[in-house]
Amino acid sequence: MIVRERNQELILIQQDHHAAISGDIVKQWKKDYFLGDGLRSSVEFAAYQHDCGWKEFDKQPFLNDKKAIPYSFFDFPILPKIVLYKHGIDVVQQVDSYAALLCSEHYKRFLLNHTSLEAQEFVTAENTRQQSIIATLNEFNKRLFNFHYGLIQFSDNLSLYLCLNEPGIAMNAGHSFFKDGIPMNQALHEFCDEHLQLHWKNENTVVLDDFPFEQPFDVVIKQKAIPKADLSAKGLIASYEEATFEEWNVTITTL
């Protein structure tokens, strides 16, 4: 779950809905900037599905009893998080092995430096999974894979920028993750700078200084607003299930 806190309410965005924005972002990536066109559908599928493991869990979010607000993906306990990561990769692999390879790398890197036994076992298992998938591919190009993985990272970060920040927020008041812009994987530096600079022009428009897309495009942020008072009165799950989804349209464009 992505959690954004306001004075009297919480904005909650399901991980799977955030991933839908990631997929829309990759889909708009400029054709002339895409390496390995024959794998494009797999890369797009990986972006759309990279958080599918969270889908059922986010329908009934978990309360962080210490903070008295829902757990976000930042502070969700590591052991159930590993279960969700593995489940999501398994689901993707049933449809597209190359997409699963990208998702595996995406989650593996989150836990590379985590010291728990379970995290290191996950990393080891994903290394084994990756080698098994690569062995089934007719051809595996490491340079292309790094580029495609870079796109997954980029689309994930740009979508998080949209979801973690209040629409229209001032440049110097946004989430600390993006104080230097959107970090770009080295494999993308042929097309973009090390950090992609961007800002909210207004509540419905985000402007990118560099624009690696075919044309301006729209994405939809799907969210629920939960009054804080409802959490103690009704409980988190009831409050969340009773709330209706709001859809916020945002145009991504250039200067």
Give the pLDDT band (50/70/90) at residue 171: confident
CA distance 181 to 94: 35
Kindly tell me if the per-residue pLDDT of 144 is higher than 90. yes
* pLDDT at residue 192, rounded to an integer: 80
Joined tokens for residue 3: 């959690």
Residue 109, pLDDT score: 93
Query: Among residues 46, 24, 168, which one has the least CA distance to residue 98?
Result: 46
> In the numeric block, which tokens belong to residue 132?
């098994």
Rounded Cα–Cα distance for residues 176 and 202 (Å): 20
CB 55 within 8 A of CB 14: yes
What's the pTM value of the predicted model, to 2 decimals? 0.95
Q: What is the mean pLDDT of residues 103-132?
A: 96
- Yes or no: say if 229 and 183 are a contact pair by the CB < 8 Å rule: no
248: Cα separation from own chain's centroid: 17
Longest CA span, the chain: 57
Q: What is the CA radius of gyration of the chain?
A: 18
Please check the confidence at residue 157 and state whether its pLDDT lies above 80: yes
CA distance 69 to 175: 18
Residue 169 has pLDDT above 80, yes or no: yes
